[in-house]
Amino acid sequence: MAYVQRKIPFVGTPDTNPETRPFFDAAAEGKLVLPQCVQTKKFIWYPRGISPFTLGPIEWKEVSGKGKIYTYSVMERANPPYCIAYVELAEGPKMMTNIVDVDFKDVKIGMDVKLKFIKAEGDGPAMPFFTPA
């Protein structure tokens, strides 16, 4: 079945939580930038301005955008249907996302995926999505 891209909603603006502005600025340039805990070197999802591992400082670092599908679900009740997923990034964290540009029958746990940015509706920010690698 031909893939139909749903409109991507967004609430607030990238300035609502000023601490996460680096994520949106990088996304606008097609880069996935995540906070990394300065002390433990672990990458963090979802983005935030403090480390949940230490309550210490974070640094914003670009990641590869490569990952594998940890789990997913196709929301058949939506029109058009969409595939929500957690993708395990090569750098460690699992992030919520959608698997896009794919026949949903082909989506499998463990599948290699790569990054694709899509802008949210209403002139919203670009957000990271994934598609089969």
Partner 1 sequence: MSLRGAGYIVGAWEHPTRKASDKSVTLLHAECAKGALDDAGLTKDDVDGYYCAGDAPGLGPMSMIDYMGLKVRHMDSTDVGGSSYQVAVGHALQAIQTGRCNVALITLAGRPRSEGQATGTAPRAGNPSQAEMQFEYPYGPATANMYAMCAMRHMHEYGTTSEQLAWIKVAASHHAQHNPHAMLRDVVTVEDVVNSPMVASPLHRLDCCVISDGGGALIVTRPEIARTLKRPRVKVIGVGEAPKNQNGGDVDLVYSAARWSGPPAWEMAGITPADIKYASIYDSFTITVLMQLEDLGFCAKGEGGKFVSDGNLISGVGKLPFNTDGGGLCSNHPANRGGITKIIEAVRQLRGEAHPAVQVANCDLAIAHGTGGSLGTRHVGSTVILERE
- Which positions from 23 through 62 interact with partner 1, judged by CB under 8 A? 37, 42-48, 51-53
> Nearest distance from residue 12's CB to partner 1, in Å?
3
Contact indicator for 27, 120 with CB cutoff of 8 Å: no
122 CB burial (10 A radius; 0-12, 13-18, 19+)? exposed
Between CA 95 and CA 79, with CA 109 as vertex, the angle to 5 degrees is 75
- Which positions from 53 through 112 interact with partner 1, judged by CB under 8 A? 53, 70-78, 82, 84-86, 92-98, 109
Which residues are near partner 1 by CB under 8 A? 6, 8-14, 16-17, 20, 37, 42-48, 51-53, 70-78, 82, 84-86, 92-98, 109, 120, 127
